[in-house]
Amino acid sequence: MADDTTVRIKTEASEAAQIPTGWHGSLDLVYVHNDGTTKLIHNQVRSPLKVQRPFYPEGEAVCHSVVLHTAGGMVGGDRLSQTIHLKPDAQALITTAAASKVYRSNGQDARQTIKLQIEAGAYLEWLPQETIVFNGAIYQQDLRVELAPQASWLGWEITRFGRSARGETFLQGEWRSHTEVWQQGHPLWIDRQWLPAGEDIINSPHGLAGQPIVATLCWIGQPVSREILDTARILWNSKERQGEAGVTQLISGLVCRYRGASTLEVRNWFTDIWQLLRLSSVGRSVTKPRVWQM
């Protein structure tokens, strides 16, 4: 009888330890376009997520929004969800106030789910600042884009493994990033990345190849010309760079990859490509978010 009680107590303790604890934050935003202006008409948040008031540094057609994580970073057990909806013809740029941080795990994983719905004629630029994954972190991000015909999405993800400025490397933990773009029930692009920590994967040419940063930029909305693809490659090769990069054509867009050691290097290249795509698709130059300069 005592043995049964002991087993039951241990089982209950084990199950309790697996129940996620920590922040369960959420963000729900809706943008509409009316009379040449994009407005944020619905803004529902739950801590630690928050959004600043809208900015219009390039005119009323494009609404800039800055997302804040008021707790400073994610830990094991945290669950964050973001739902962004752009109504027809709305144009929005969303970034983050600072680099995101995923701290060493307490045994549980940290997870973020992002759902983006972009209706016909709308254009979303999803441009978060880098994510720093600390040694020992266990993190997964799932991002799904529902893209209507004649809608466009440009998104990037810049991830640094370990606090490399302090000499930290990603020797323990796990990172997963799942991105899917769908249109009317058909997949346009599915990208699943997994990086288990450890010396082997850090140094492998099929992993980090000794570099602390990987990054991806994806543009989907319309076919890109050979000229744009060539120009995107020239933008990389025209300057002395330390990292590695590649550009691949998609059915309705392109994807750019980076592996290296400099956030500034990859963001400058991505910004050049963003400018190229902005000019070719909407005929307007980019305006960098002010928060990037802080």
Mean pLDDT for the stretch of residues 258-271:
96
Judged by average pLDDT, the poorest of 18-22, 133-137, 152-156 is: 18-22
Mean pLDDT for the stretch of residues 227-253:
94
Predicted pLDDT of residue 20: 52
Mean pLDDT for the stretch of residues 27-43:
97
CA 203 to chain CA centroid, nearest Å:
24
The CB density around residue 238, as the number of other CB atoms within 10 Å, is: 10
Higher per-residue confidence, 108 vs 10: 108
Query: What does the alpha-carbon distance between residue 280 and residue 87 come to, in Å, rounded to a whole number?
Result: 23
Contacts of 243 (CB under 8 A, 6+ apart): 211, 213, 258, 259, 260, 261, 262, 265, 266
Does 25 score more than 90 pLDDT? yes
Read off the amino acid at residue 259.
Answer: R
Element (H or E) spanning 199, and its range? helix 199-203
- Phi, psi for residue 93 in degrees, rounded to 5: -120, 125
Contact by Cβ (8 Å): 181, 145? yes
Mean pLDDT for the stretch of residues 11-18:
43
Q: How confident is the model at residue 293 (pLDDT cuts 50, 70, 90)?
A: confident
Contacts of 12 (CB under 8 A, 6+ apart): none
Q: Write out pLDDT tens, residues 149-174.
A: 999 999 999 999 999 888 899 999 99
Contact by Cβ (8 Å): 76, 111? no
Predicted pLDDT of residue 16: 41
Q: How confident is the model at residue 275 (pLDDT cuts 50, 70, 90)?
A: very high
Mean pLDDT computed over every residue of the chain: 91
Structure tokens at 137: 């972190």
Predicted pLDDT of residue 7: 40
- By residue count, the chain amounts to 294
